[in-house]
Structure 1
């Protein structure tokens, strides 16, 4: 059975991924700082991934068929992981983000070739935004010719009673109170993925051998209005939208397109759902019985 290491994996779709891997027969080792235990059946190693010596000591002589890195946010973290785990694994999967396409604003969903991590500058010591941190982390791994590396660029994730982001709750609170929801004057669509769907995709990808970047998103981009419509249906109340030309807008509202093309993943053999298949369920799970 595959020896699989998950870095992070203590919450949201990470813990779902670990459970799916266990159910599929993987021998799973979870590495985190010890804030929470992994599902029963997984080996738990406690280490600070930022501490190269501590990470190496915790791993000992263990080797893995695949590593799934759920919590790599900076190029320095990637560099530590590359040195410590690179020689120990047959393949390295990093959970990346749609935010790596932050400089793109295309009318059509963007494919993986819109951003080539191998071409960008890396600064191991800079203070970086979330998206830029992921871009540079990808670059560190992608430039290691000895490493079989895959970057899974994940769309905005929705669903689950344990959704810690507060994004759907923000809409629900405002709709419930009749308060306006700030949106751009031109509100662009974005791609999304259901929490169970992204866990399933990562588990599926861990058992394949493809490398390079791959977009992970449900079919059917959504606008803020469409997301809110599902919240309205759940609460039985209407949303009030307020268009703003500049300044802060509500979460999941975008002045630029955030739509990804999932054609590569589809060609590799994975079948994504359509957002209409799960949006109402995701809202119900996140909001529970609140009305």
Structure 2
């Protein structure tokens, strides 16, 4: 029986991934800080991954066939995990934000970002710094793992919608537009790639059974702009143009993922029109 360690996995699509792996008959261990109980039928270890000694004590002599790391945000966290966790394969949940410095008019392939260095001396433990450097933190975390001896893959996840979304980003639009208020957008908002929470859970579970290495983009077909999202919510949405501090899914650059690698590896993505209205209704119920 394949042994899998999931770091995080206590909420949103992370919990769904754990349940999918459990239901496929894998020996699943979840490690998190204990603020939320793990799903039934899995081993639950409690530790703060930033505490190297505590992480080592919680894991003991355990080793795993695959690690799925849902909550690695910095190269410091990646370095600790590399030193402490014993596994044959390591999969990190990364983000579309690793491409935040790219300016292009074509879908972004994985080869556009190949991080080679990491700076462990930056103030990664400072919340404000980490929030302002989210994409860079993920890029450098990928670099740390890629430099190791363990087979490594990173999943660069599109913007996630639907399900029990705790971020409130889609709910922001639903609440404002349903009330007849305007939402703030760029003068020329550009499209990006999105994925339903259910589908990214399916994809991450699929990666546990795969053996590819390197980065892979994950997102549904059918790019969306903030205008497309607003029109799925309201027949006549109202907008207010701003130069800065636009609403969450208003982008001033083309930010669409090329998902052809994932397709070639054997995963079939849905199209955003298949689930966008469902995601809107989920946000209304939240």
TM-score by length of 2: 0.95
1:238-249 correspondence runs (5 A): 238-244=236-242, 246-249=243-246
Where do 4+ consecutive residues of structure 1 move more than 2 Å?
A: 120-128
2:106 partner SS:
coil
Aligned residue number for residue 11 of structure 1: 11
Number of paired residues? 279
Aligned residue number for residue 196 of structure 2: 194
Q: For each residue in 1:129-174, what CA deviation from the matched residue of structure 2 results, as whole angstroms up to 9, or x when unmatched?
A: 1111111111111111x111101000000001x2111111111121
- The equivalent position to 1:114 in structure 2, one of 112, 117, 132, is 112
- How far apart, in 2, do the equivalents of 1:57 and 1:14 lie? 24
- How far apart, in 2, do the equivalents of 1:218 and 1:152 lie? 14
Instruction: Please state if 1:155 is matched with 2:153.
Output: no
Deviation at 1:214, TM superposition (A): 0.3
2:10 partner SS:
coil
Query: Structure 2 stretches of 5 or more lacking a match?
Result: 124-128
Aligned residue number for residue 43 of structure 1: 43
- How far apart, in 2, do the equivalents of 1:32 and 1:124 lie? 25
Q: For each residue in 1:22-77, what CA deviation from the matched residue of structure 2 results, as whole angstroms up to 9, or x when unmatched?
A: 01111100000000111100100000100111101101111100000000011100
1:65 partner SS:
strand
Aligned residue number for residue 168 of structure 2: 166
Residues 122 and 140, structure 1, Cα contact 8 Å, conserved in 2: no
Deviation at 1:225, TM superposition (A): 1.1
Query: Structure 1 stretches of 5 or more lacking a match?
Result: none
Aligned residue number for residue 222 of structure 2: 220
Residues 30 and 44, structure 2, Cα contact 8 Å, conserved in 1: yes
1:265 partner SS:
helix
Residues 175 and 284, structure 2, Cα contact 8 Å, conserved in 1: no
1:228 partner SS:
helix
Instruction: Please state if 1:99 is matched with 2:102.
Output: no
TM-score by length of 1: 0.93
1:122-141 correspondence runs (5 A): 122-126=119-123, 127-128=129-130, 129-141=133-145
RMSD: 1.2
Aligned residue number for residue 72 of structure 1: 72
Deviation at 1:228, TM superposition (A): 1.2
1:172 partner SS:
helix
1:149 partner SS:
strand
